[in-house]
Structure 1
């Protein structure tokens, strides 16, 4: 996959998002990518949603703690939007402006998949909220780690509030991630998440590398 001629963000850094269902290995692959980039001399910011900021950590507790109980789907979506707004304004945009490679474990697509397709909110209503919260900042590349929820949930351990949803919920989430990727192949790569982590890591590196070259050109 080659970078498009019109990157979705214009900062000198590179923005990479990992998306996928529960147990797909996003955290592992985010960490492996960050380690490889740092060893290659890149400045890297590794973060996650929800919880990439101090405010986000508090919001994450509300969103994922089973003790929170049921939330209105719209309430849940608004809390996720607040986390994203703080994350982009205080961490992601400044890092990109400094020329860093920003790697996030989850971003807007998770809101569209989980609160949209999963909770059955109207994605056409939800997406403008998420884009407004993030100032329409979009990743250069989104890596979707695809896995059958029946396999992924078995990897996840003790379920949090979202992981504890029925498998039908997670099926809808998975299908929406794949639909988003299919609609924009220039900015997405889908990788099977049931392979060896090192094999997946090398495929991630191959997908990210062309964007690193473009970033150097933009910065020069």
Structure 2
């Protein structure tokens, strides 16, 4: 494949979605063809699964059911959108990918990172990002940002207890140690402009390196 696959990861309120949009604009200015997408979602089938996963009414959802739904949405999204875009030579910027499942369901839900990794390897057939940017922000700060943003719709994960989000953060830290050559940390407490600049510079370094 001639494209480049970058995933944006982090806890709730870390600002990765806003950073992704800013990075895409800078890449476009450099003449790169960029495809923006997200997980769960990005295509019709996966967006339908997203509605089930994030609906606040679905509080009775079993942790394994949740993990399998994320993996199913990921498979369809990968085959229908990500791989074709990469084959056309695009840079694909994706808001969340496999590391979200490893941190949220694997570590925070207590299902085990290795178990969730195996489930997802079946789903993505060992297809991993070229680069993952982890937006490093303490969960307390991220949740405070969400509460202060009156325009953001609160989903099922936003209303989890702080202890859950702390476990998510711990999960990402474990993943950084496990995949040091792929996962790069961005200080998400900086201004949005600084976060975008740091993210853009890292992507350019990787592409041109």
Give the TM-score band, short-chain normalised: over 0.9
Distance 1:91 1:135 in 2: 15
For residue 83 of structure 1, what is the aligned residue in structure 2?
73
CA shift at 1:101, angstroms?
0.2
Aligned residues: 204
For residue 202 of structure 2, what is the aligned residue in structure 1?
207
Distance 2:159 2:182 in 1: 31
CA shift at 1:69, angstroms?
2.2
C-alpha contact 2:23 2:197 (8 A) present in aligned 1: no
C-alpha contact 1:147 1:193 (8 A) present in aligned 2: yes
TM-score with structure 2 length normalisation? Answer: 0.94
CA shift at 1:211, angstroms?
2.5
* Residue 85 (structure 2) pairs with residue 95 (structure 1): yes
TM-score with structure 1 length normalisation? Answer: 0.89
> What SS does the corresponding residue of 2:173 show, helix, strand or coil?
helix
Cα RMSD (Å)? 1.1
For residue 143 of structure 2, what is the aligned residue in structure 1?
153
CA shift at 1:191, angstroms?
1.3
Distance 1:46 1:135, change over 3 A: same
C-alpha contact 1:84 1:134 (8 A) present in aligned 2: yes
For residue 6 of structure 1, what is the aligned residue in structure 2?
none
For residue 189 of structure 1, what is the aligned residue in structure 2?
184
For residue 46 of structure 1, what is the aligned residue in structure 2?
36
Q: Unaligned stretches of 5+ in structure 1?
A: 1-10, 215-220
CA shift at 1:51, angstroms?
1.1
C-alpha contact 2:20 2:196 (8 A) present in aligned 1: no
Distance 1:99 1:210 in 2: 18
Deviations 1:103-158 (A, max 9, x none): 00000000000011111102221111112211211111100001111110111245
C-alpha contact 2:4 2:86 (8 A) present in aligned 1: yes
> What SS does the corresponding residue of 2:17 show, helix, strand or coil?
helix
Within 5 Å, which residues of 2 pair with 1:1-220?
A: 11-157=1-147, 158-213=153-208
Instruction: Name which of structure 1's ranges 136-145 and 180-189 shifts more when overlaid on structure 2.
Output: 180-189
Q: Unaligned stretches of 5+ in structure 2?
A: 148-152
Following TM superposition, where does structure 1 have runs of at least 4 consecutive aligned residues deviating by more than 6 angstroms? none
